[in-house]
Structure 1
Amino acid sequence: MFGEKYVQRTPKSKKLFEEARKYLPGGVSYAIRFFEPYPFYVSRAEGRKVWDIDGNAYTDYWMGHGALLMGHRYPPVIEAIKDQLNLLPHVGFSHEWEVKLAKQIVEMVESIELVRFTNSGTEAAMYSIRLARAYTGKRLIGKFEGGWHGGYDALHIAVSPPYKLPGSLGITEGALKDTVILPYNDLDGVREIVKGLELAAIIVEPVLGAGGFIPSDPEFLKGLRELCDE
């Protein structure tokens, strides 16, 4: 991905990656963090910038998988974290902040009625599919070409071309037999494929991430909503 100039500027990252390969599969703790010839290793961050262990600065468009909306080390966030660490860092019990956050989400997003917190996008997608099947009594799930919904086996297909193949080794045909692959931004194509099928749900990204950052047409999403209501 990067050339000789990158290698010359990142000798410490190269050395650390060689060490990482001894203890982490592929040298990384998450597959998407790897790129050729090796990833750089971040040592500090501030605002929109991160610095690697070799001292190189980068503008961060990733922002903690999208979680750092205010940038790195935003002072009010840092102070709030410090205050909470002195009170209740982590417990396995219910607490008032989960209620406050759920209430705020429901009040901010009109379509959300109830909130269930999960540990990852994979877990959220898995429970969503299970809930849809339990509620409808149906088993088929519609999933779009180029869509990425985490590591849940039933959705880990058609992430990248060729779209008929699983996104990883180790995924069985049985895990995918109830997944229906659909064309993105093609409402007529979707209608043709799902005709006569009983789907429990259709899962969709408003903007395809892994599929190339392709935005959906507003009429496409509106049509999907109407199709599901039918």
Structure 2
Amino acid sequence: MSIGNKTHENPHETLFRERTQNSREFNKHAASITPLGVESNVRSFAPYPFYVERANGSYVYDIDGNEYLDLLLALGPIILGHGHPEIRAAVKEQVDTADVTATPQPISIVFMEKVAEMTPSIETVRLANSGTEATMHAIRVARSYTGKNIIAKPEGGYAGAHDYALQSVFASEEALGPANHPNTVSYGTGIPDAVSDTVVAFPFNDEEATEEILREQADDLAAVLLEPVMFSCGCLMPQQGYHEFLRELTDELGVVLIWDEVMTGFRLGPGSAQGRFGVIPDMTTFAKVAGGGYQMAGFGGRREIMDEIIPPESDEERTWDSSVFHGGTYNGHPVSAAAGLKALEILESGNVYTHIERLGDRLFTGLQEVADDVGVAANVQHIGSMGQIYMTDHDIRYYRDTWHSNETQFADWWLEAAGRGVVFGTPSQGERFFTTDSHTDEEIDHALEVAEEALRAVDHPYED
């Protein structure tokens, strides 16, 4: 994640700076109100972020009046295009019906029924407000169900912004230690060492090392939490057989397998990644696409696991430590539920996936071809409508392979493209970008033209 402003000007920022004078001045004002002048660290980058005033279809428009072809798509939630008319209508109807009441509303139950109907692993489900909340609660339920404390997650994997998930997301090679037996390292300050002691990292795609680590921890291992495709470091695809191996191993060890489908949920098909890969986890977390552009998240799984949330019926058995607590004033917010329900109905009944995946193939295959033509070392990885371009010709099989990417060159390429009106995700090599249903062939072709211009501009990357 790239945060903060450089102290001197990078020549690849020139076009961006020329177009965004109002954003530059607004960033100075915003920084006096909130750290870095943004609502989330991920939204800050050098030299400064542009501030969006409105969005519609395939485009966002900044406070300088610039139009950008949007491939960031709110980091994933926008799968039908900004301001989809059916979702807007559903939201307006719900706004006129009821806002939040902290009493159950039918719209939220109907939404959960749709989630369970579409997601192979989910028998019962609860709602939350963000992917961070979803993984936090899923971990707690898994610990209660197993009576164990340790959580295993892949090195390089992001699973939310709570303390148990911010482990071994990113660190130096020295801190992370051996590739086949990585250390657990907190990402950022303010996280107690005691939390790190309850999380163990393993190398995604390395079956031998994964098995060794999980067996070592088996006596106190509650759950394995991972993204089915590691989009937390760009786009790291699972190797053939890895998920089947992990499913069998966790079954044998009595460990809850949690798939973090916050990014892939309802993006890789109506059955999410688990429907696409044919591997069924014990629990699943979801967010982003599920909300139709509004705040929505949740977690669910096998009924016997989710029943950990239910207090015992008798007064004698119902104590302060007899069940898992799950709560939240805004859980199942009716407006978000209405938006999410409409989005899932559209995704389930239409040809959205055919369209966005065809365009995804066109975009990401085209990016590789363009990079090869220009002569820039690049390795484009994608699945369906989402992917990333790594600025390296190194194979991308394990998390540490992504370290070969030239992050400076990638950030410069992003700035050159943004200066020409196309937003390829964020300037961070560890993010990714997407196609959406409102995109057209002509827009993808334009994106590829801009990508080529930007690649030619960074063929000899600037060194600060």
TM-score norm. by structure 2 comes to 0.48
Counterpart CA distance in 1 for 2:29 and 2:149 is 45
Is residue 174 of structure 2 the alignment partner of residue 174 of structure 1?
no
Is residue 60 of structure 2 the alignment partner of residue 38 of structure 1?
no
Deviation at 1:114? 0.8
The equivalent residue for 1:161 is 171
The equivalent residue for 1:193 is 213
Find the partner of 2:60 among 38, 50, 59.
50
Local SS of the residue matching 1:167: coil
Q: Contact (CA 8 Å) 1:160, 1:211: kept in 2 or not?
A: no
Counterpart CA distance in 2 for 1:3 and 1:17 is 16
Q: Contact (CA 8 Å) 2:171, 2:187: kept in 1 or not?
A: no
Q: Contact (CA 8 Å) 1:155, 1:176: kept in 2 or not?
A: no
Counterpart CA distance in 2 for 1:93 and 1:66 is 30
Q: Contact (CA 8 Å) 1:122, 1:149: kept in 2 or not?
A: yes
Which structure has more relative contact order (CA 8 Å, sep 6+)? It is 2
Deviation at 1:61? 2.0
Deviation at 1:218? 4.4
Q: Where do 1:83-94 residues align within 5 Å?
A: 83-94=93-104
Deviation at 1:160? 1.8
Aligned length: 230
Q: Where do 1:57-72 residues align within 5 Å?
A: 57-72=67-82
Counterpart CA distance in 2 for 1:105 and 1:187 is 31
1:37-94 deviations in Å (ceiling 9; x for gaps) = 1110001111111111112222222323322221101111111111111111322110
Counterpart CA distance in 2 for 1:84 and 1:218 is 44
Counterpart CA distance in 2 for 1:201 and 1:6 is 45
Counterpart CA distance in 1 for 2:69 and 2:229 is 22
Is residue 156 of structure 2 the alignment partner of residue 133 of structure 1?
no
Counterpart CA distance in 2 for 1:224 and 1:59 is 39
Counterpart CA distance in 2 for 1:210 and 1:26 is 22
Counterpart CA distance in 2 for 1:82 and 1:122 is 27
Q: Where do 1:82-161 residues align within 5 Å?
A: 82-161=92-171
Letter of the aligned partner of 2:92 in structure 1? K
Find the partner of 2:204 among 166, 179, 184.
184
Letter of the aligned partner of 1:171 in structure 2? I
Q: Where do 1:16-31 residues align within 5 Å?
A: 16-31=26-41
Q: Percent identity?
A: 37
Deviation at 1:26? 1.7
Unaligned runs of 5+ in 2: 1-9, 177-182, 253-464
TM-score norm. by structure 1 comes to 0.95
1:95/1:191 Cα in 2 relative to 1: closer, same or farther (>3 Å)? same
Local SS of the residue matching 2:111: helix
Unaligned runs of 5+ in 1: none
Counterpart CA distance in 1 for 2:120 and 2:225 is 19
Q: Contact (CA 8 Å) 1:49, 1:58: kept in 2 or not?
A: yes
